[in-house]
Structure 1
Amino acid sequence: MARVKIISNPYENVITYKKYNANSGAWEEIDTNSDLWNEKYKTSVFPFVVKNIVDVIFEEFRSGNEQITIMFEGTDDEFKELESVCQDEAYSGLLRPVASVRYLRNARDILPDVKAIFDQMQPLISESVKDSEKVEREKRQFADVSKEAIPICVIGNYSSGKSTFINALIGYEILPSGDESLTAKIHKIEWSGYDDRASIGFEYKGKAIKLVFEEKGIPAFNTGEEDPLFDKIQNALKGTENESIIIRVNKVLEVLNDGEHAELLDDLSDIIEIKIPFNRKGVFGQSKNKFVIFDTPGSNSATNYEKHFEVLRKAMEDLSNGLPIYISEYKTLDTKDNQSLCDKINNMREMDSRFTLIVVNKADDANLEKSQFDPVIILNQTVPRNLYAGGVYFVSSIMGLGSKNDGEFIGKHLKRIYKKSYEEFFDPEDDFYQQLYIHDIMPDQIKKKSLEESEKQQNTIYANSGLYWIEEQIEQFAGIYSPYNKCHQSMLFLDKVIKITSEEIAETKRICENRKKNMENQLERDKATLLDELTSKENELLKRFCEEYYPDMKTSRDDAEKKISKDKLAVREDELTKVRKSQTAFDEQNINVEVSKKAVKEEAKKLTKADFATLLGSIKDSRDRGKELKETQKSINILVADDLLSEVKSDFNKNISNAQVLLNNSSVKYWNNKCNEMKQCLAELVTGSKALSNEKREELTEVIMNYDSISFDKQIDKIFIKTEFERHVISIFGVKLFDNNKLNLGKLSRTYNSELKEGIENISRRLQKSHDLSFRSWTYNLMNVIRENITKYNPKLKEIVIGINDDEKRINDLAKRQLRLTQYTHDIEDMMSWKEREIKDPENEE
């Protein structure tokens, strides 16, 4: 039986494969001639290529009717996609997907924790990169990681229907639409947050202008001067005081996009920001995600491409992880003009082209008859060939918009098209009945779901227009795929900040070493020798103390590890069961069941033909009582499981908190002892030196021995993030129940003990790093005091020593900051790293 392993890491955008060698009993690389080496199957988004991957495995590893086991390492979301594909009848039940021991957490599950960590890091990040122009852009994009904004970039040529498509998403006729070129402006569109508020913002002649629309009335300008552009806006709004916000916003945007008066718009900013109510009908309007739509100008020339994409980059400079939506008509999918546009999209770092959605707009006017429709030919045309990621979607934006606004269009032209086509999209009996979504090109398992869900959609026109499933895919990107990119970006940014901090530490150390050499050159030889000996002893002791720390703390770690046994859990489970039984009168109910059974037996002994019906009634009553008792037992088991799990979680948090206190006290004690040892050793060197006078030696020895005690960072949150453990404990105790609804106590005790040990190790490592830094800082300060005392009678040397002290303080501050950044990075890295399930692997994989 063949066994193949798929290893998918969506955080790194890598998919690898292995096969099992039964002779060696080990997993090994797939043969180099396998189609699985195709770059598409190694770097694509897994759900978009899983069907192709499974087809390759089925073709290459099938041997008669033997089953193929597909081991999967990756996220649970991806495994569900694999399971769905393997259930296809085409594989005749010969594929068996199995979730491996190793797995990754879904990004949507860890992103809230990543954002929480980033919130804590904001001041630290700002301090670390405040003087660095190198990361100013990344700093702005870092803020995007902790934002909810999901950019949607709508791109395409003139007359492809971009504006109408955006209006369909919003559900209102906001943007003016037309077949002619308007202006090279970017519309940045967001939900206003209210159904009766909207605004349009832009810069004009260097001034920021914001028009605010309320439920009724005309927005105030307050520009302080007359201007032809503002006159046109006011004229456009005349008589619209009582019109809807949608109509008034549309009127203003018509003026701001009027190509016939382009000279008036030369002083208008490239970006027009629009905040508008979204229609609550449909997936997009009901979404909890915060979408930011960018409507780009259409173009049919390479010259305009450059200008338009530069404007788009500017609009998105504070954002990342954009979802590209390419709008094209059916007849222009293969035009040469589109090649340059495709290249631009693929090269924009602000957009994730792995998820590009290709929308064939005005599809109701295309010839999509089966005899003329060939997906293979379509995918080989210019736009799909360059941009296809996971779907080509056929849409009528006009019908989609009409399904949300009930056919109430501002312009008569669109209203006429909608009414004319209404029956085609609504009535299945119509000769020209259209269901555009059935033509969508996408992976089979997604297409299957599309057909099923679209068929269920109650708003028939919304579904048949193709808009419904496009909005579902946008929502899926925001909810499932976008978080992977955001998590990955957070790691890249933190690595960059840590690198900058490291470079700053290295540069400050270099300056400090130069100062020390300069000081040594001016210091008498015997005093320089003493300083060298003191520095050497300091470094020697620092190294030894750090090496001895972890072994010395073992006893404290063992004391903190309060394990819990299966037997103890069983005893507590019995106690809780008794309590719950008393609360539900279970024992009394049990007695009644036994009495009922006994009564039935007695009746059966005295049975006569006339009493048969009565006996049957008694038997039924007895069985009903038995069933009721079983249901009560089931309920008790569930309640006891909840009670016990709650107690275990509370106990875990308590033990973690106690461990923090115990380990912290032990660590403080250790370093205090080492401080005394450090002072004693340095004082002995000074006492034995001939470089200083007797009076000076005594004075310096007293300074050393009386030097202040070490102080540790008392802000626990910098060392130990309690909320991290609280979030963690929720996930680690998701213990599965048996069929009788009782907890698996053996698994629970093993999980508890394992995670407690890991938590204690984590606390210990954090304390070690933090207290090590505190000790080093204390040592540096002590050495600075010694240098000051040795050189204080030489003004030039005193100035150098002050510089050295400042440098070392700066180095110490930077090191502390770097430590905290590194700890945060490790926290995020750990969330995205491979985990192992507590259960044994069903395939006993090596």
Structure 2
Amino acid sequence: MHKIMIKYHPVKKEIHFLTDDNGSFNEVKYTDSPALEEYSPENGEFLLQDQGYSFFDNLQEAFLGLQNTEIVFKGTKIDYEDFQKMVANYNRHQEREGSEVKLNLGEFIELPDVGAIYDEIKSVAGDTVELFESELSEGSTKDIFRARKQKLDDKVTDIEQDNVNLCFVGTYSSGKSTFINAIIGAKILPEKIRPETAKMFRIKHAELPTVNFLVKTNNDAGSVASLLWSDDLNKFQFTTNINDGLKGQIDKVCQKNAGKPRHEQMRSLLNAINEMPNSPCEDGVCFVEGMIDVRYPMDIQSDINFTFYDTPGTDSNSSEHLRILKDALAQQTNSVLIVMYEPVKMDGKGNSVLYDLMLKSQADSSNEDGVTIDLSRSLHIVNQVDRYGTTELRDALSKPIRLSKNVQDVIDESEENEFEYDLQDKRVFYVSSKAAYCARAQKKGICDLDDEEFIEDSADKVIKRKYYRNNHMADAEFDTQEVIELSDAQFEQSGSDQVSDQLYIASGMYAVEREIIKYAEKYALAVKAKGLYDAVLYMMDGVEDECQVIEEAKRLEKEDLLALVAKLKTDMIADINQCTEDFKKDIKAKKPEIMPAEISLIQTKVTNASTKAERQINKLPRIVLKPEKIGEKNKAIMENLNDYIHEVDAFYLEKRATILQQQMKVLKKKIESKIAEYKEIDNSIISKILKIGDTTIPTSSISSIRMSDYINSEKALWIFTTTDKGKYKEEVFGEFLAITGRQHKAYLKEIDSVAQKKAEEMAQQFIENIFRVSETLEHTQEEAYQAVREQADALRCLNLAKEKIATLEERIWRGINE
């Protein structure tokens, strides 16, 4: 019988195909068969458990039928057990379809388990660090090594904490907080929060609840506020000294809620903290920076240490929220992304972080910032399904999702601004997080009136529909079937007398919880190993880049090199500074080529808001029949005016980064064009000078203003009962125009100020690159012997390190009995 071999490793996330040639297996090139080409590492990571009938059909096509072919599987024991089930399921499918072609699973060649490979990668990382530390000569190469070694050290520290991070992202209406509350088993996170005050929460399990957050005033270092639950006092209390005003404010919340159930007190506390400003205020009021760290007992049944990240909505127009979301993702080590959707709002504009993560989900998911998110195993949750009918749900998922990329996040004009993200090949779960929470609350006896009402009105419907039966695990039919059957079995075991258990399972949350635990137990260590492996390669790349600069310096004669350095330090820097000064003058002069169209759109938004405001103000009654209603009417209109002001602010925050990024792009192109004129300088040196970081736009320092700060209901009543009503309307409208006018001037002033500062920072990045390259070149020439020795040491270390990596690669793919 003919043989083929399939090799798969969960750390590498690669699959290889080999054919038997007289007792020796030879690798098949992916390009040799169109049916195999999609599985090439060049097309992204391969996840065995996501494969289904189409994968085996492609094998049939690639190897001209497998009826008389034995499949040898080489992989870890866990993956082999999954592969066995997949093959058996495919054969049953073939039988149902009336096909006589079945797969023959033969020999199993066991690879070391992921734990053993992780230990080997860690050993290679340690050996490589020790090699570079002891053998590299002191100099620029060793400095770069040490800088990158710190990244590796940080990665190891994070990994050794043995956490599995679950990072929840989605729009404000997707129900992230309700979902997390259901998993925790207590309603502790604020729900239905106002987008303008949203913060990020990090939640870990602990028997004794605590809350920690950083409090700052303007630009001071800040202090950590810590609150601890006291069983004796039946409330939260401070364990640190912080700003008296803030302490009094929080103490008042704690005292007001003392004696209530613990989870209600936690929610009130977190809600109060969430309402505090996210950034410095003009009046010097304290603000909360970073994330809110929460410890609370969790119901999720597992020995794994889970950490939940609840992030601001991805549809926020706030640049501050975008920063918070980026910070959350930058802290992810050994993480899985959980993307939340509301069924009827699947399409729409997403922010750059979510866009780029999804777009690159088939690319390498670890980078120099230490982010290791297992995108291939990301879970996609269609939440709040109890609100919609079956037809609506099917319609919502019958077409790919259209995701948009914010204009300000397009660095390369050739990039796509919009793309389709088809959930049909993703791991998708249908969930009613409201039903799941109510089920948990009922079982624990902590239902409030809203929970009891939901159970009375909707429990029967949820139990009948069993939302988990709509789940699908990418293309893996067997995995999908197994997930559904597991929930079915648990549902039957719970019995009709255990309504809360049945409700929890039928809500779909049980299936998600089991998948999260399975991920942690079976696959999380593979993500750790991959992250550590990539960090080692990143460290080695820095050393190799520096060696290339030294090589170019060796190629030049002394006189040529000195002339080159002089040209870099004088002419090129002068050109960069001149480009920057010209750019800053153009900004001040507001030249059209430097002023994006979005600036005029802000003015249009202000004008439109004024028109809407005038219409609202004219709705005030001309004749006062019931003076007591004036305050109520005035308040409603004032809220509308405040909404218009907020819309203008939100529009500015949305367009602000677009404007600044486009302006910076103009400057960058000018400097790049000027540097490109230096034709006599080698491209390897030019490329290193041009390698600067992306422009980061700081959070806006402009505070929102409300009409209620200027006109109040008492004044309205007085005017309407004693003086001319038209005068009051004029005063209100005049105040509205004054506020939006001041805001508009503040917008333009801030854009100019940030553009000037960012221009100088960009120029400085280019100049720093010039000095760094020049220093390496001068060092090579002035201390030629030492530079050559430094390079020789580095190359020798690199070669030894590459040998270790090659040995590690061979070990990863070598069977335990080979």
Corresponding residue of 2:487: 454
Paired with 2:172 and 2:808, the residues of 1 have a C-alpha distance of 44
Closer/same/farther in 2, CA of residues 469 and 359 from structure 1, 3 Å limit: same
- 1:445 paired residue among 478, 488, 503: 478
Shift of 1:232: 2.9
Distance 2:399 2:116 in 1: 34
Whichever residue aligns with residue 478 of structure 1, its letter is A
* CA offset digits 1:395-419 (Å, max 9, x no partner): 1112222333326557543443244
Q: Name the residue aligned to 2:587.
A: none
Q: Which residue of 1 aligns with 2:93?
A: 90
Deviation at residue 445 of structure 1 after TM alignment: 0.9
Residue matched to 1:435: 466
One-letter code aligned to 1:326: V
Contact 1:279 1:404 in 2 (8 A): no
2:82 matched residue in structure 1: 81
Amino acid in the other structure paired with 2:468? Y
- SS class of match (1:354): helix
Residue 300 (structure 1) aligned with residue 315 (structure 2)? yes
Aligned to 1:344: 356
Q: Which residue of 2 aligns with 1:268?
A: 287
Please state how far the C-alpha of 1:5 moved relative to its aligned partner. 4.0
Given that residues 151 and 323 in structure 1 are in contact (C-alpha distance below 8 angstroms), is that contact kept between their aligned partners in structure 2?
Answer: yes
| Partner in structure 2 of residue 487 of structure 1 | 529
Q: Look up the SS of the partner of 2:436 in the other structure.
A: helix
Corresponding residue number in structure 2 for 1:250: 267
Structure 2: unaligned runs, 5 residues or longer = 135-141, 404-419, 495-500, 555-782
| CA distances 1:696-722 after superposition (whole Å, capped 9, x unpaired) | xxxxxxxxxxxxxxxxxxxxxxxxxxx
CA contact (8 A) 2:343 2:396 kept: no
Q: Is the 8 A contact 2:400 2:423 kept in 1?
A: no
1:158·1:299 contact (CA, 8 Å) conserved in 2?
A: yes
- Please state how far the C-alpha of 1:231 moved relative to its aligned partner: 3.1
Q: Is 1:71 paired with 2:89? A: no
CA distance in 2 between partners of 1:834 and 1:30 (Å): 21
Q: Are the counterparts in 1 of residues 278 and 289 from structure 2 also a CA contact under 8 Å? A: no
- Structure 1 position 238, deviation (Å): 1.2
Alignment of 1:185 onto 2:199: yes
Q: How does 1:104-183 map to 2 (within 5 A)?
A: 104-111=111-118, 114=121, 132-134=146-148, 136-178=150-192, 180-183=194-197
When structure 1 is superposed on structure 2, of 306-315 and 206-215 the one drifting more is: 306-315
Matched, 1:34 2:34: yes
Q: Does 1:358 align with 2:399?
A: no
| Aligned partner of residue 244 in structure 2, secondary structure | coil
Residue 234 (structure 1) aligned with residue 248 (structure 2): no
Q: Structure 1 stretches of 5 or more lacking a match?
A: 427-432, 513-802, 839-846
Q: Distance in 2 between matches of 1:19 and 1:376?
A: 44
**Alignment deviations for residues 353-391 of structure 1 (CA, whole Å, 9 cap, x no partner):** 22221101111222226xx66599536233782566541
- Contact 2:326–2:353 at 8 Å: present in 1 too? no
How much does 1:97 deviate? 4.2
| Alpha-carbon distance in 1 for matches of 2:215, 2:796 | 44
Structure-2 separation of matches of 1:132 and 1:112: 23
Give the secondary-structure state (helix, strand or coil) at the position aligned to 1:213: strand
Aligned mate of 1:209, from 221, 224, 228: 224
> In the alignment, which residue of structure 2 is the partner of 1:631?
none
CA contact (8 A) 2:152 2:536 kept: no
Letter in structure 2 aligned against 1:268? F
The answer on 1:382 being equivalent to 2:394 is no
Pairwise CA distance, 1:823: 8.6
Describe the superposition over 1:290-349 as per-residue Cα deviations: whole angstroms up to 9, x where unpaired.
Answer: 222211101435x44x6434323334445434311111111112x222486741332585
**8 A Cα contact 2:237 2:254, kept in partner:** no
> Is the 1:19–1:30 Cα contact (8 Å) retained in structure 2?
no
Aligned-partner Cα distance in 2 for 1:58–1:506: 47
Contact 1:152 1:292 in 2 (8 A): yes
Shift of 1:444: 0.9
The one-character-per-residue Cα deviations of 1:228-282 (angstroms, maximum 9, x if unpaired) are x4333222111444445433321211012228999699753442232323333xx
Q: 1:272 to 1:828 in 2, by over 3 A?
A: same
- Matching residue of 1:198: 210
Query: Residue deviations 1:567-586, cap 9 Å, x none?
Result: xxxxxxxxxxxxxxxxxxxx
> For the Cα contact (< 8 Å) 2:209–2:295, is it kept in 1?
yes
Classify 1:502/1:411 alpha carbon distance in 2 versus 1 (closer, same or farther; 3 Å). same
Identity of aligned residues (%): 17
| Corresponding residue of 1:841 | none
Contact 1:5 1:19 in 2 (8 A): yes
What is the DSSP-based 3-state SS (H/G/I as helix, E as strand, rest coil) of the residue aligned with 2:517?
helix
Deviations 1:642-689 (A, max 9, x none): xxxxxxxxxxxxxxxxxxxxxxxxxxxxxxxxxxxxxxxxxxxxxxxx
Q: Which residue of 1 aligns with 2:305?
A: 290
Q: Select the structure with the greater relative contact order (CA < 8 A; seq sep ≥ 6).
A: 2
Structure 1 counterpart of 2:333: 320
Q: Flag the 1:500–1:338 CA change in 2: closer, same or farther, 3 A.
A: closer
Question: How far has the Cα of 1:450 moved from its partner?
Answer: 0.9
Listed as ranges, the matches of 1:505-584 within 5 Å are none
In 2, the alpha carbon distance for the partners of 1:312 and 1:124 equals 38
CA contact (8 A) 1:157 1:327 kept: yes
TM-score by length of 2: 0.56
Structure 1 partner of 2:733 = none
Alpha-carbon offset, residue 393 of structure 1:
0.5
Are the aligned partners of 2:205 and 2:298 in contact in 1 as well (CA < 8 Å)?
Answer: no
Structure whose alpha-carbon radius of gyration is higher: 1
Aligned positions, number: 535
- Do the aligned partners of 1:102 and 1:834 also contact (CA within 8 Å) in 2? no
Query: How many Å apart are 1:449 and its aligned residue?
Result: 1.0
In 1, distance between residues paired with 2:120 and 2:26? 37
Per the alignment, in what secondary structure is the counterpart of residue 11 of structure 1? coil
Does structure 1 retain, via aligned residues, the 8 Å contact 2:35–2:61? no
Q: TM-score when scaled to structure 1?
A: 0.54
Which of residues 341, 344, 352 in structure 2 aligns to 1:331?
344
Task: For 2:33 and 2:121, locate their aligned partners in 1 and report how far apart those are by CA, in whole Å.
Answer: 40
CA 1:265–1:148: 2 relative to 1, 3 Å? farther
Q: Distance in 2 between matches of 1:300 and 1:9?
A: 37
Per the TM alignment, residue 38 of structure 1 is displaced from its structure 2 partner at its CA by 2.8
